[in-house]
């Protein structure tokens, strides 16, 4: 059996099954140890410094104790601290994005995904560059500035050259005042060379869900195709970092395996990236398995209820305070509302999970990857966020200003967010309101901007932001950023 070593580059050593099992046993033994739980909660709290705020984060063992704890008042305390952390480092901004499905051709055999090779029922589709352009125009017309591109794994139909060409096309479309300013990429594990090419194409985050950290289950759930190789998949983020991508996004597909096991594995992966590359994951996503074409989520035994899911999200927030957290439209409005309170910093909105889905009137189901629970339009999501006192942000400034990897993390830690991210959020919201919002959303949004401008600490920054917003409202000048 491989010994646990966070600095190792071997999957089975940095995600050690033995260490996860020991962690789960430790967590179970201490789940009612109130003194220890209080100590861990205290460690997780944000501490004020002369220049801002710092958070110690938690180890996978500490966080696993909290996840195991079932004492209601301690869980309530976890939620409070998760919210404090979120407000300290991310403020009340919520970044908005949409997925763009390029192709559902796939050679893998993933048991939970309708794109699996043996599914002869699902329509296969791959966008041409003309179709990519049309989808991007539709997304720009909704108001999106940030996309996550998605594709199945198929070296013949979706080679890296195809993905790179699509990225070029996406960045080249400027429809009316529209612009896609950040393309995140969710494609299968690949080589260092291909990651280098993605970096050169100007991508934002490289996202790859682990699906499950449990090696045996992983192999059973991915019986055929290149994705079957657990080590190649699990070591992908190290190759991405080697290829120069320093913003990487982790995720587990919850429901496949025991959530406590996945939770420990996920945090060990984050610790590994920090130990080897000096920077943790840029984002963590929390997808749950959903119904889809020939997929019935009830066939997987490890589904978690909404309460457990909320607790899990809060515990991730406590463990990795500087990592962005993403929840997609797989979740309903009610669940998203709960999760936003306990640490989520990014949501998708107005999403379609089918190939070519944005250019059709009706939501198409024939090529869909999973059922979308939150089917509201982007305008409705934006308004709903504001009604719940979140600032919808279309900001893409950081990576364009070179603030990636540890430079982004330093911004987060330095307390400069209110002088940088906050005005950027307001300026990009002003763009959205001018160009795309319904009258009601625009009214609520403009009131929010007035209120929130007053919270920018530096007078000079406040004045510039207010002036830029005036310009946005009175002219076609766009894309201001700090």
The contact set with ligand SAM (CB under 6 A) reads 112-113, 150, 152-153, 186-188, 208-209, 211, 227, 253, 287, 289-290, 292, 295, 330, 369-370
Beta carbons within 8 Å of 473's beta carbon, 6+ residues apart: 430, 434
What minimum distance in Å lies between the beta carbon of 154 and ligand SAM?
A: 9
The first and second tokens of residue 282, run together, are 């840029």
- Closest separation between CB of residue 256 and ligand SAM, Å? 9
CB of 320 to ligand SAM, least distance (A): 19
Q: What are phi and psi of 31, to 5 degrees?
A: -70, -15
How many alpha carbons lie under 13 Å from residue 153 in its C-beta half-sphere?
A: 19
Considering the complex, what minimum distance in angstroms separates the CB of residue 143 from ligand SAM? 23
- C-beta of 209: minimal distance to ligand SAM in Å? 4
Distance in angstroms (rounded) separating the CA atoms of residues 466 and 482: 13
Q: Which spans in 201-348 are helix H?
A: 215-221, 230-234, 236-242, 259-277, 306-319, 333-341
Closer residue to ligand SAM (CB): 208 or 420: 208
Query: Which one, 152 or 445, has the nearer CB to ligand SAM?
Result: 152
Using the minimum distance from each CB to ligand SAM, give the nearer residue, 110 or 456: 110
Name the nearest CA neighbour of 146 among 94, 185, 181, 198: 181
Nearer to ligand SAM, 92 or 186 (CB): 186
Q: How far is the CB of 106 from ligand SAM (least distance, A)?
A: 6
Nearest approach in angstroms of CB 343 to ligand SAM is 20
The nearer residue to ligand SAM, 217 or 369, going by C-beta atoms, is 369
Q: Which is nearer to ligand SAM, 152 or 281 (CB)?
A: 152
Q: Find all residues with CB under 8 Å of 32, minimum gap 6, and list them.
A: 69, 71
For 180, counting Cβ atoms within 10 Å of its Cβ (0-12 exposed, 13-18 middle, 19+ buried), the class is: buried
Give me the DSSP letters along 215-238: HHHHHHHS-SSGGG-HHHHHTHHH
Nearest Cα residue to 209 out of 266, 267, 245, 250: 250
151/318 with CB nearer ligand SAM: 151
Instruction: Give dist(CA 87, CA 77) in Å, integer.
Output: 15
């Amino acid at each position: 059996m491989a010994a646990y070593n966070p600095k190792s580059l071997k999957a089975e050593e940095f995600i050690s099954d033995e260490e996860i099992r020991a962690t789960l046993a430790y967590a179970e033994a201490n789940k009612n140890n109130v003194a220890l739980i209080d100590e861990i909660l205290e460690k997780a709290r944000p501490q004020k410094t002369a220049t801002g705020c710092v958070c110690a984060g938690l180890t996978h063992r500490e966080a696993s104790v909290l996840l195991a704890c079932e004492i209601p008042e301690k869980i309530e305390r976890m939620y409070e601290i998760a919210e404090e952390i979120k407000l300290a480092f991310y403020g009340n901004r919520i970044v908005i994005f949409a997925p763009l499905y390029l192709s559902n051709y796939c050679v893998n055999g993933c048991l939970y995904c309708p794109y699996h090779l043996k599914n002869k029922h699902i329509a296969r589709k791959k966008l041409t560059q003309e179709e990519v352009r049309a989808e991007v125009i539709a997304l720009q017309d909704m108001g999106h500035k940030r996309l996550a591109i998605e594709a199945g794994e198929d070296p013949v139909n979706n080679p890296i050259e195809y993905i790179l060409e699509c990225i070029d096309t996406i960045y080249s479309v400027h429809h009316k005042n529209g612009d896609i300013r950040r393309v995140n990429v969710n494609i299968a594990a690949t080589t260092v060379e291909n990651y280098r090419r993605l970096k050169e194409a100007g991508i934002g985050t490289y996202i790859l869900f682990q699906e499950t950290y449990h090696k045996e289950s992983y192999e059973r759930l991915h019986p055929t195709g290149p994705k079957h190789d657990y080590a190649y998949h699990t070591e992908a983020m190290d190759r991405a970092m080697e290829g120069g991508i320093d913003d990487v996004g982790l995720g587990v597909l919850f429901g496949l395996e025991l959530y406590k096991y996945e939770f420990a594995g996920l945090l060990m992966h984050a610790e590994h990236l920090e130990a080897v590359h000096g920077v943790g994951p840029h984002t963590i996503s929390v997808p749950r398995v959903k119904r889809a074409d020939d997929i019935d989520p009830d066939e997987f035994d490890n589904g978690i209820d909404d309460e457990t899911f909320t607790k899990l999200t809060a515990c991730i927030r406590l463990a990795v305070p500087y990592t962005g957290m993403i929840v997609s439209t797989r979740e309903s409005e009610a669940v998203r509302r709960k999760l936003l309170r306990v640490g989520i910093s990014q949501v998708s909105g107005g999403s379609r999970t089918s190939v070519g889905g944005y250019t059709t009137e009706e939501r198409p189901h024939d090529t869909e990857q999973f059922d979308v629970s939150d089917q509201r339009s982007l305008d409705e999501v934006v308004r709903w966020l504001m009604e719940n006192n979140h600032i919808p942000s279309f900001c893409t400034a950081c990576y364009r200003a070179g603030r990636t990897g540890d430079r982004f993390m330093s911004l987060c830690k330095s307390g400069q967010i209110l002088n940088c991210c906050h005005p950027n959020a307001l300026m990009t919201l002003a763009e959205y309101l001018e160009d795309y919002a319904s009258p009601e959303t625009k009214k609520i949004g403009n009131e929010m901007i007035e209120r929130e401008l007053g919270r920018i600490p530096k007078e000079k920054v406040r004045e510039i932001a207010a002036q830029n917003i005036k310009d946005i409202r009175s002219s076609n000048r766009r894309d201001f950023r700090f």
